[in-house]
Structure 1
Amino acid sequence: MTPGGRVLRGLAGVSVVTAVHAAVNVRLLRTPAADPPPTAARVRVVVPARDEETELGGCLDALAAQTGVPQLQVVVVDDGSADGTAAVARAHGAAVLAATAPPAGWLGKPNACAQGAAGAEDVDVLVFVDADVRLAPHAVAAAVALLDAHGLDLVSPWPRQLAVTAAERLVQPLQQWLWATLLPLRVAERSPRPSLAAANGQFLVVRRSTYERAGGHGAVRGEVLEDIALLRAVKRAGGRGVVVDGSTLAATRMYDGWPALAAGYEKSLWAALGGSPAGSLAAAAVLTALFVLPPLTGSRAGVVGYLAGVAGRAVTAHRTGGRVWPDSLTHPLGVLALDLLLLRSVLGHRRGTLHWRGRTLDR
């Protein structure tokens, strides 16, 4: 066998291992109760909102329909909106806090979340929800029940990602596939290592005492991926947290088409895979070698590598509420699209041209 053939067989073997790991991981994924018991916890939901006039009403309607949480308060943090975000919040009966501009060294979302969580001494649990997320009626009670049942300090119920256009269907499912493939969930749940972390700030639930012990959003003030950084801060403070199944608790359509998707991913993807531009590029190179190059060879090992990638993608999508077929068959194209977005993100980061919702993202 030629050296190239041995390399290709090795890559295919690793791809098979990642598929098996994804299958095991999704079996171990913490699952919320469909009918959770009522909670006596005092809960504050913080909704950071910047120019969310069209999305906020649906989010607040879902929060008003929550069951099993008799002590629930909702605070909308109007993060300098130029539209009718604050008016929509008031029309839905939510408390509205006008956020002050981010101080030097702070990014917008951590600043808004920190202000929404301030003065919560009478609260047991903090919940952070994005305005484009729609919660099921039992979502908050079920998330709190997961905290209590497993002795956790933070849970990140990953919402079901609604993907409509071809670009969304290529890229969005990679979110869940990445942590299912790369992160050993039960080890990460128990381990104090900050590097073993995955979280999604679209719906994030944390004990208030642990949040404050970890420094809150002030500890992650300049992080473009403040959700993962917050979980890492919780781990450093001695807490435990993990991503959990949120497909039955929440749903969201993050981006509508390629332009919005590209802008959203470019703002943060440079730090998403390896924690830095160099680390992310290295991780992308490995993913490309495993899931893109083998199918291009047309060899038997290449076919095995391709099928392993499809299998890992399929079992993850099935478990997390995504579309399984035919989308899983395009997995190599999705990884290539991710490569393109990553390169654009790294270049934008180096040039200092990244921005989001009218603000420059510099560190």
Structure 2
Amino acid sequence: MTAVTAVAAVRAGAVRVAAVASAGIAVHTVVNARLLRVAPPAGAVAERVSVILPVRDEAARLDGALAALLAARGVPDLEIVVYDDDSTDATGGLLAAWARRDRRIVALHGAGPPPGWLGKPHACARAAAAATGTVLVFVDADVTLAADGLARAVLLLRDSGLDLVSPYPRQVAASPAERLVQPLLAWSWLALLPLRAAERSPRPSLAAAGGQFLCVDAAAYRRAGGHTAVRDQILEDIALLRAVKRSGGRGVVVDGTTLATNRMYDGWAELRDGYAKSLAAAGGHPAASAAQVGLLWWLFVLPAAAAVCGSGAGLAGYLAGVAGRLVAARRTGGRSWPDAAAHPVSVGLLGYLTALSWWRRRRGTATWKGRPVTAAPPRRGPRAGS
């Protein structure tokens, strides 16, 4: 056997293994789609609910977010604690006007995070400290809740017996870049996370949550240390769930398709900067990120490339990847076709964004809303005897 023949045989074997693995992942996606917890029908919540809304430069979105929250049905005892994190636009004035009109809104204002903190964990911690509800619901300003979405999320938390649930909103993706990348979020946890095991296991690797919409028992939140325990974490949502698990609680991502909608990024520039902020943190280490990207490329890009060259196994692997994307999209209310057909392109673009995230982190140029995405170290107090 010549060297060329040997290389071709190895490549063909890699494609066949990738095709089989992709088919298995597609089947797992179907299973998870059936296991995904769904909120009960609308009903009344018989406890005080505190909605935590951290905002920074959200003048364009604040009105819509607050209007939807105030229109919530089935939550008679509601407070909305909004923390304005040193906004530079009209957010502060708009918030003050809303607070004057409706007593359910508690308006807080801050001058930015102290050393050792990132902005969002600090805003959430300050707002949660002022909240008086037995349930805390964290939402972002780019999330629009359905009229019964808040009540159903709280009822799901209580009915499930979990300490934290993270309803995944229906994602709105308009631009080509959003349509390529955003569906990977829902696909990733539906395809790769064993949902029922994730509920029970304290393992950090089995944790998925979205800070856009997160519902947690107030006592469990405080027992876990709240956002103080994740003060310097870029992915504070996943870190908070891990803290809850470490303190003996349980939690998982759940279906929020009918509870809320969310347009996380508006166009390529916002999407690029958002992922460049977070993907390095998701990997934890350059080698780990490289291994994750390499595995995804092997499973979903290699078969597509082989299919173009006439490989039947490659075509089967490509179709399995597309099938998994279709299942995830239809289960979470996303756009399914023809977007799913571009799954290999989506995975390839994710690799680029991961590399960009590490590049910016190493250069110290990763920012979000005008701030660096790494917390400044806390100031040291005077030494003993000084």
When normalised by structure 1's length, the TM-score is 0.97
- 1:124-163 equivalences under 5 Å are 124-163=134-173
Aligned match of 2:125 in 111, 114, 139? 114
SS in 2 for 1:296: helix
Superposition deviation, residue 282 in structure 1: 1.1
Superposition deviation, residue 349 in structure 1: 1.2
SS in 2 for 1:39: coil
User: Which residue identity is paired with 2:255?
Assistant: D
The one-character-per-residue Cα deviations of 1:279-321 (angstroms, maximum 9, x if unpaired) are 2221111001110111111201100110010000000000000
The one-character-per-residue Cα deviations of 1:119-138 (angstroms, maximum 9, x if unpaired) are 43x42001111011100011
SS in 1 for 2:13: helix
Partner of 1:105: 116
Identity between Structure 1 and Structure 2 (%): 57
Aligned match of 1:22 in 29, 37, 53? 29
SS in 2 for 1:232: helix
Partner of 1:315: 327
Superposition deviation, residue 32 in structure 1: 1.0
Superposition deviation, residue 350 in structure 1: 1.5
The one-character-per-residue Cα deviations of 1:137-168 (angstroms, maximum 9, x if unpaired) are 11111111111111100000011110001110
- Kept in 2, the 8 Å contact 1:43–1:73? The answer is yes
Q: Identify unmatched segments of 5+ residues in structure 1.
A: none
SS in 2 for 1:7: helix
- Kept in 1, the 8 Å contact 2:81–2:130? The answer is no
User: Which residue identity is paired with 1:329?
Assistant: A
Aligned match of 2:228 in 218, 225, 229? 218
Q: Distance in 1 between matches of 2:157 and 2:285?
A: 31
SS in 1 for 2:206: coil
Q: Distance in 1 between matches of 2:133 and 2:82?
A: 16
- Kept in 2, the 8 Å contact 1:89–1:95? The answer is no
Superposition deviation, residue 84 in structure 1: 1.1
Aligned match of 2:58 in 36, 52, 55? 52
- Kept in 2, the 8 Å contact 1:43–1:126? The answer is yes
User: Which residue identity is paired with 1:54?
Assistant: A
The one-character-per-residue Cα deviations of 1:315-344 (angstroms, maximum 9, x if unpaired) are 000000001111100111111111111110
Q: Identify unmatched segments of 5+ residues in structure 2.
A: 1-7, 100-104, 376-386
The one-character-per-residue Cα deviations of 1:200-222 (angstroms, maximum 9, x if unpaired) are 00001101100000000000000
Partner of 2:200: 190
SS in 2 for 1:92: helix
Aligned match of 1:293 in 277, 287, 302? 302
SS in 1 for 2:133: coil
Aligned match of 2:270 in 254, 260, 277? 260
When normalised by structure 2's length, the TM-score is 0.91
Partner of 2:379: none
- 1:320-331 equivalences under 5 Å are 320-331=332-343
Which 10-residue stretch deviates more, 59-68 or 137-146? 137-146
Larger radius of gyration: 2
Which 10-residue stretch deviates more, 90-99 or 189-198? 90-99
Which 10-residue stretch deviates more, 47-56 or 84-93? 84-93
Superposition deviation, residue 195 in structure 1: 1.8
Partner of 2:3: none
SS in 2 for 1:292: helix
Q: Distance in 2 between matches of 1:352 and 1:155?
A: 34
Matched, 1:351 2:357: no
